Amino acid sequence: MPPAVKWPPRTVIRRSSGLRTLESALYRNGLGPVAGVDEVGRGACAGPLVVAACVLGPNRMESLAALDDSKKLVERERERLFPLIRRYALAYHVVFIPSEEVDRLGVHVANIEGMRRAVAGLSLRPGYVLSDGFRVPGLAVPSLPVIGGDAAAACIAAASVLAKVSRDRLMVEMEQHHPGYGFAEHKGYSTAAHSAALAELGPCAEHRYSYVNVRRAAESTGVRRAAESTGVRRAAEMADVRREVTPMRHAEVAYAKMIDRASAQREGQHTR
């Protein structure tokens, strides 16, 4: 009988090499390319959940030496690293889960679905996937959850920066479409200023109605019913296509266009 296959395959870490330790061990055992996947926006009450997957090469690059958990990096450093990651990564893919999908699926399930789609969207098939914090069932390749992964693996740190900068730019652009909420400042998180705007204006289409503070604001301002009727109209318009997939991808296209405009202002017309 053939020997049993252990899943996921085990690796031996010989010595610490910082953020590249785990990836180096995987590459050394023939399990590359290694993809890292991370999300941004779980705790926000407005705007999309953004998930990125990124594959870096096996060798350390000096240009990306400053990679770390995006939450630890200042905005200027994230913005500096963002185009470098896109330039030097072997592959990357960013997925946007709109607020209505977060409401429908729940944030955890939406997060898992986003991670699956981010990995599936890579232009090359990884041999191994490292996820930040928790298991991602349903991947076609072996994977490993890494606690504090965005501070422990370079590919996860790179994915974290891609997701964070993409979402921040989107929220800045979103302020022009939904003025008065301060999205450019708080990025959809529940700050005092955001709560005050919610109480005054009620939620907009980008808010997550399954979140308690948004639901309360909707009920107190009478916005909930209008939002629900809008959702019914949207569902009717899309009745002739795949109902669960199309709204998410339709939103992704809209978000991508908004980010393109924001990125063009920051980086000129350079795109990958």
Binding site, by residue number, is 38-39, 132
Enclosing H/E stretch for 95:
strand 91-97
Binding site for a divalent metal cation, by residue number, is 38-39, 132
Residue type, 4: A
DSSP secondary structure string for all residues of 208-250 = -TTSHHHHHHHHHHT-HHHHHHHHHHHHHHTTTS-TTTHHHHH
- Between CA 116 and CA 83 the distance in angstroms is 24
Q: Which two three-digit tokens encode residue 140? A: 């076609």
- Between CA 101 and CA 210 the distance in angstroms is 10
